[in-house]
Structure 1
C-alpha cells in the first residue's frame, strides 16, 4: 500500500469517526432529520389552562436555546386525560415530561410525596412557596429520584391554585357535608379527611364530572377556580354554590424521564433544567392571574360564593395528618413544613 493510499484511507476513517461523534447524543434517539423530539403532556383539555402556559414556555426555551436541535411537542389532554395514563406513558418512554399530582405518585410506591396532597398542610401561598422552593422541596425531589430508581426526575413544582368546595348547597358549617357525595380521591389522606367531615368520596373521572354534576350523579366537587370554571362546573345545579374552604394550596409535579435525561449531553441537560425553571415561573403566574379572573367569571355567570370558618376543618385535618405522616415515615418533613409557617 502506498503512502498516498494509506493517507487517503485514514482520512476517510477519521471522517467517519467524526461524523458518528457528531451524531451522538449519548444514546438519545434523534429523528430522521437529526432533531430530538420531546413529548410533554398534561391532562387538562382547555387550551387556556395554566398547565398549557407552563409547557408552552418550556417548549419556547428549549427550542430557542438548542437552536432548534430539540423540538417539544405539547399535548393538552390528547394522550391522556387521567394522570395515571401520563405516568404510564412516561415510564414506557411514550412521553418525556408530564404534569401530575402528588397523590398519583403513591401508585408508584413513593408514598412520601402524598404529603403534599394533605388538606390544610399549608396555611398560605407564601407558606407553600417557602416549602416547595426550599429545603423541603429539595428533599422531596431526592426521594422521588431515589425511590423511582431514577425513572423520574423532578424538574419543578407547579401550583394548581387554591382548592375550594363547590356543590348543590352552600356550606355554613362542617355538618352540612354529612351525606354529601363529593368527587375527590377515594383513598389516602384526602379521602380520610373528607370522610371524617361526613362527606362521601366519589371517583368520577375529571372528563365526566360536568355531566355527573349536571345529572345528579354526584352532589359536589372540589378544585381551584381556573380548573372548574374553565370546565363550566359552576353552571350546573350541583356546582353553583362555591364555599371557599381553601383546603389545599395545590402542588403539581413536573416529571421528566430520568433515564433519558441522564443520557443527554450536559449541554442539553442544562437547557432542559433552565426551561423547566422558566416554566415554573410562567405556570405559577398564569395560575395566580386566573385564580382572580375565573372567580370573577363564576360570579358573573351566577355562581354564589360564600366564606366559612375554616378552623373546624383544620381541627379535623390535623390529627389525620399527624397519623398519616407516621404511616409514610415523613414526620421530619411535616415538622419542617410547620416550622416555615
Structure 2
C-alpha cells in the first residue's frame, strides 16, 4: 500500500510540474509575441500636409514597403491634413500610443529640448554640414534623448531643403528686412534669431499664412520651396530671396509603445522601410525643389540673391545664449563638426 501511495504521489507531482511549465510557456509567448499570432494589424501615420504634398508621397512609399516586408501582416494607414491633430497633438499621441507614426519637426523641441538647437537659423555652414549632423553621432544622440525623455522613437530624418524668404518687396541685404513683419513658426529659436537680424517675427500657424499675407496682417514668410509652392504663396507674394537661412528636416517618428508590441522581425521591417522611404523622399525633394522654383518664376515671382553672410553674422549673435538654455553640449558638437 505504501509503495502504491508513493507512486501515486510522484505521478501527481509530475502532472503539477508539467502543468506549471505549460502555463509559464503560454504566459511568455503572450508577453513577447507582439503580432506573432499572424493577425493583420493596421498602424496610423499622421502629418499636417495635404494629399498632394511630398510628405504624402514619402508616407505612401513607407506604407508600401512595410506591407511588402511584412508579407501583408502590417499595414500603415495615412492621415494627412492634420486629421490626427497638429504636430503637438500627434507628438502627444505618440507618447500615449494612440498615434503610431507621425511626420514632425520643430515641435519635438517641446518634448526634448535639445531638438531646439536644430531650429537656429544659420546654425549650419552649408548642406554638407547639416547632413553630417543629422545623419551622424549628433543626430543619433538627439534620437536617444528623445526616446529616453519622451518615449518617442525617431526612425529617420527626411530632408526638406533650405528655407527661403518671400515678400512683396525685393530683399537684397540685411537692411531690407529691418522691421519686416515676418511670419515664423511658433518656435522660440526662430523668433529670437529673426529679432537679432532686425525683422519683426510674428509666430503664426501655417494654415493662417496665406490669408495673413492676403490681408497684409504679415508682410513676409519663410519656408522651403516645396512648402511655398504647395501653399500657393506665389499668388500673394512677388519676391523670393534665396536666404538659405535654415536647412530643414522632418522626422519620421514612431510611438515606442507601438514599437514594443511588434515582433523583432516586424521592427526590422519597419526600420528597413523607413530607410527606403527616406532615400525616396530626399531624392524627390531635390527634383521637385528645382522644378517648383522655375514654375514660380514662370508665374511671376522674382528671385533675389542677398548677401547671406551679413544675415548669418547677425543671427549668430544670439546662438550661444539660446543654446546655453537648452543644450549647450549639442550646440558645441555641431559647431565643431568638420
TM tier, shorter chain? 0.7 to 0.9
Residue 322 of structure 1, CA deviation: 1.4
Residue 221 of structure 1, CA deviation: 0.4
Residue 24 of structure 1, CA deviation: 5.2
Q: 1:149-164 to 2 correspondence within 5 Å? A: 151-164=151-164
After superposition, the C-alpha distances for 1:274-316 in whole angstroms (9 at most, x for unaligned) are: 1111111111111111110111111011001100001111111
- In 2, distance between residues paired with 1:85 and 1:29? 27
Q: Secondary structure at the match of 1:229?
A: helix
Alignment match, 1:267: 265
- In 2, distance between residues paired with 1:111 and 1:27? 35
- In 2, distance between residues paired with 1:154 and 1:233? 31
After superposition, the C-alpha distances for 1:85-119 in whole angstroms (9 at most, x for unaligned) are: 22133233331011111x312322x1111111111
**CA shift in 2, pair 1:187/1:96, >3 Å:** closer
Residue 81 of structure 1, CA deviation: 6.2
Alignment match, 2:146: 144
**CA shift in 2, pair 1:337/1:78, >3 Å:** closer
**CA shift in 2, pair 1:71/1:30, >3 Å:** farther
Residue pair 1:184, 1:202 contacting (<8 A) in 2 also: yes
After superposition, the C-alpha distances for 1:118-137 in whole angstroms (9 at most, x for unaligned) are: 11111222221111111111
Q: Which of 1 and 2 has greater Rg? A: 2
Q: 1:112 aligns with which of 103, 111, 114?
A: 114
Q: Over aligned residue pairs, what C-alpha RMSD do you find? A: 2.8
Provide TM-score, normalisation by structure 1: 0.86
Residue 336 of structure 1, CA deviation: 2.7
Provide TM-score, normalisation by structure 2: 0.87
Q: 1:17-28 to 2 correspondence within 5 Å? A: 26=32, 28=34
Residue 213 of structure 1, CA deviation: 1.1
Off by >3 Å, runs of 4+ in structure 1: 23-31
After superposition, the C-alpha distances for 1:128-167 in whole angstroms (9 at most, x for unaligned) are: 111111111111111111121xx20110111121101101
Flag structure 2 segments of 5+ consecutive residues without an equivalent: 1-18
Alignment match, 2:133: 131
- In 2, distance between residues paired with 1:279 and 1:55? 7
- In 2, distance between residues paired with 1:81 and 1:240? 32
Q: Size of the alignment, in residue pairs?
A: 321
After superposition, the C-alpha distances for 1:60-102 in whole angstroms (9 at most, x for unaligned) are: 111001111101001221414631222133233331011111x
Residue pair 1:112, 1:328 contacting (<8 A) in 2 also: yes
**CA shift in 2, pair 1:186/1:154, >3 Å:** closer
Residue pair 1:59, 1:71 contacting (<8 A) in 2 also: yes
Residue 214 of structure 1, CA deviation: 1.2
- In 2, distance between residues paired with 1:77 and 1:297? 24
